[in-house]
Structure 1
């Protein structure tokens, strides 16, 4: 298993960092290869620059500013996002990562006049989201949970046809208790354990 963990939080001592650490601990326990992209620590610029927009569909040069991130994405078979949900969606830095890294030729193929985009992340067989939400579960789903849908529907559409998905969230973070925080970390660990031990490639499976 080759896991790319895309982590997005400005506070290095946040609860989200504890979630990240639990995910990585469980991946290490099963011998997964791991690459971590800490977007705030690395100073990732989420802004799509004018020249990038001009060359957006040009596969010969549209990854020039994000080549290392693209290499990570092409390397992994498991893609994991860890972030806080703000305004029911993705933090701006993470949304910018999607804008700049998931470009034509990397994440999808541009459509012709009669079709739609075609997936190009078909090597990714596991897709997971670990997040925290200030709002309650019912309010988040009433609004439509746009952050969850962006990844587990939008990005998922670009992955392998049988791509497995996982989602774990701690809701009502503003009224969280030590007990609820601890219990959620345990849920996160169990969620990783459920799919991390399953081979990502058919040739790795035991006959």
Structure 2
């Protein structure tokens, strides 16, 4: 398994950063090869340019602006998002990454005839993980519709392999969290990662 982590948070001292580290530690423990795209650290530009929009429907050319990101997307067979939920959805930085990197001919294939819909392009991705924090409560997030979760767990997953395994963990009421609530959430992250890694070979050092 090859895991790609898309990490999105402006502060490296955040609880979201701690979640990122916990996810990576679980991948290391399982002997999983992984790479990370830290959107803020690299100064990712979430804005699609006029030229990118012009080239959007032309496979091969449309990936030129973000070739390294596309290559990582093609390299991985597991995709993990770690980010804070802002205004019930994805941070602009992360939404811009989806807009600019999940391109026609890569993430999905455009319709070829009237009445057709798009076809999945990420069928090599068999596992999808989402780890986030929310200032709002669980019930308020669900009342709004949880658009961030839906975009990834439903929208992106539809582009992946059939039966793509998913894992999800969110710490709600983050702004009034406590040491105890954060510790409970880390335990939940561990549980979801165990589910995420289910069925993979156990590393030799763990067997011993």
TM-score normalised over the length of structure 2: 0.94
Instruction: State the alpha-carbon separation in 2 of the partners of residues 59 and 115 from structure 1.
Output: 19
Give the structure 1 partner of residue 20 of structure 2.
20
Unaligned runs of 5+ in 1: 201-207
Give the structure 1 partner of residue 197 of structure 2.
196
Whether the aligned pair in 1 keeps the contact of 2:167 and 2:195 (CA below 8 Å) is no
Per-residue CA deviations over 1:116-161 (Å, capped at 9, x if unaligned) read: 0000100000001000000000000000000000001110000001
Give the structure 1 partner of residue 3 of structure 2.
3
Cα root mean square deviation, aligned: 1.0
Instruction: State the alpha-carbon separation in 2 of the partners of residues 98 and 194 from structure 1.
Output: 25
Number of aligned residue pairs: 200
Give the structure 2 partner of residue 117 of structure 1.
118
Give the structure 1 partner of residue 97 of structure 2.
97
Give the structure 1 partner of residue 157 of structure 2.
156
Instruction: State the alpha-carbon separation in 2 of the partners of residues 13 and 191 from structure 1.
Output: 23
Query: What secondary structure, in the 3-state scheme, does the structure 1 residue paired with 2:125 have?
Result: coil
Q: Give the C-alpha shift of residue 199 in structure 1.
A: 3.3
Per-residue CA deviations over 1:89-139 (Å, capped at 9, x if unaligned) read: 000000000000000011000012220000010000000100000000000
Instruction: State the alpha-carbon separation in 1 of the partners of residues 193 and 75 from structure 2.
Output: 20
Query: What secondary structure, in the 3-state scheme, does the structure 2 residue paired with 1:130 have?
Result: strand
Query: What secondary structure, in the 3-state scheme, does the structure 2 residue paired with 1:82 have?
Result: strand
Unaligned runs of 5+ in 2: 202-208
Whether the aligned pair in 2 keeps the contact of 1:3 and 1:80 (CA below 8 Å) is yes
Give the structure 1 partner of residue 174 of structure 2.
173
TM-score normalised over the length of structure 1: 0.95
Query: What secondary structure, in the 3-state scheme, does the structure 2 residue paired with 1:80 have?
Result: strand
Whether the aligned pair in 2 keeps the contact of 1:127 and 1:165 (CA below 8 Å) is yes
Q: Give the C-alpha shift of residue 60 in structure 1.
A: 2.2
